Amino acid sequence: MKTVQTLTKMKQAGEKIACLTCYDFSFARLLADAGVDVLLVGDSVDMVAAGKTSTLGAAMEQMVYHTACVARGSGSALLVADMPFGSYEADNKDAFGNARRLIGDGGAHMVKVEGAAAADCVEFLSARGILVCGHLGLTPQHLHRLGGYKTQARGEAAAGQLLQDARRLQECGAAMLVVECVPPPAAAAVAETLTIPVIGIGAGAGCDGQILVLHDALGLYPGPSPAFAVNFMQRNNSIRGAVNDYVTSVKTGAFPPAG
């Protein structure tokens, strides 16, 4: 069974952590069998499975349902579930109740919240025994405030702010951190500074692990995919082969390409 302690030891040993999003039982079994370390039931489910144009409409019921589906097939992978927009920002007690549903009813091991402003919530949940993953950089739940899906933490001051926010989340008890769509040197500085595992998406090779949206990694999503995503089906002739290729590429450092 992969635990947060397993992932922290992997970071310390320099072994890269392979993560993918996952939304159903069959894929959970396939990904876990291929050696994916972390399965994230992302609120991206509302885009890739439900066909919406953003993650903002994802509901708790939906997240609990998909988390429970994934939990039945997740094997030894660590299972993380997204707290959807509106489920944790306003009230820490509500956040606890919603995290409890994802863990108690859905079977998640850890929940994920977006943004530096969630630090208090991270502290509240962590103090009550809940494993929390932070998410900084491009936080899709703040799409409108950010003005679109754009690279974040550009420039020295913004990279410094990213590092400060990451430190604060760790101090508040975050057990893991996702950094999305930030310049590779900024993400590498976060990974070097923090003791918790830092998982990158469009954030370069200096992170402790990588994550992609499954439908981007398999070229399944009909909408636009981010420029950093690689479709592993283009060089494999089966889904199993593509997922094995992704895991090997992350573990050997071939993905993402340096530079």
- Please report where in the chains the tokens 């954030």 appear, as a residue: 203
In the chain, beta strands by DSSP E: 17-21, 38-41, 78-82, 110-112, 132-137, 176-180, 198-201, 209-212
Please state the closest distance from residue 193 (CB atom) to ligand KIV, in A. Answer: 20
**Which lies closer to ligand KIV via its Cβ, residue 133 or residue 242?**
133
Given a contact cutoff of 8 angstroms between Cβ atoms, the answer to whether 194 and 148 are in contact is no
Under the binding rule (CB under 6 A), the answer on residue 42 touching ligand KIV is: yes
Stretch of 37-45, 97-105, 158-166, 190-198 lying at the interface with ligand KIV (CB under 6 A): 37-45
Under the binding rule (CB under 6 A), the answer on residue 178 touching ligand KIV is: yes
**Which lies closer to ligand KIV via its Cβ, residue 22 or residue 242?**
22
Spatial separation of the C-alpha atoms in residues 55 and 74, rounded to whole Å: 23
**Which lies closer to ligand KIV via its Cβ, residue 21 or residue 67?**
21
Stretch of 5-13, 36-44, 190-198, 238-246 lying at the interface with ligand KIV (CB under 6 A): 36-44
- Please report where in the chains the tokens 């997922």 appear, as a residue: 243
Beta bridge partners of 209: 17, 199
**Active-site residue, from 61, 156, 180, 192:** 180
Spatial separation of the C-alpha atoms in residues 192 and 195, rounded to whole Å: 8
Under the binding rule (CB under 6 A), the answer on residue 194 touching ligand KIV is: no
Please state the closest distance from residue 128 (CB atom) to ligand KIV, in A. Answer: 23
Task: Return the SS3 of 137.
Answer: strand
Q: Which one among 34, 211, 242, 247 touches ligand KIV, defined by CB under 6 A?
A: 211
| Span 56-85, contacts to ligand KIV by CB under 6 A | 82
Given a contact cutoff of 8 angstroms between Cβ atoms, the answer to whether 8 and 110 are in contact is no
Question: Does the annotation mark 171 as catalytic?
Answer: no
Largest CA distance in the chain: 48
Under the binding rule (CB under 6 A), the answer on residue 115 touching ligand KIV is: no
Task: Return the SS3 of 217.
Answer: helix
Under the binding rule (CB under 6 A), the answer on residue 141 touching ligand KIV is: no
Spatial separation of the C-alpha atoms in residues 142 and 171, rounded to whole Å: 23
Q: Please give the angle made by the CA atoms of 166, 205 and 109, to the nearest 5 degrees.
A: 55
**Which lies closer to ligand KIV via its Cβ, residue 93 or residue 250?**
250
Stretch of 7-15, 41-49, 62-70, 85-93 lying at the interface with ligand KIV (CB under 6 A): 41-49
| 78-82 and 198-201 beta bridge pairing | unpaired
Q: Which one among 37, 43, 123, 165 touches ligand KIV, defined by CB under 6 A?
A: 43
Q: Which residues are catalytic, by number?
A: 180
Site for ligand KIV, rule CB under 6 A? 21, 40, 42-44, 55, 82, 178, 180, 201, 211, 213
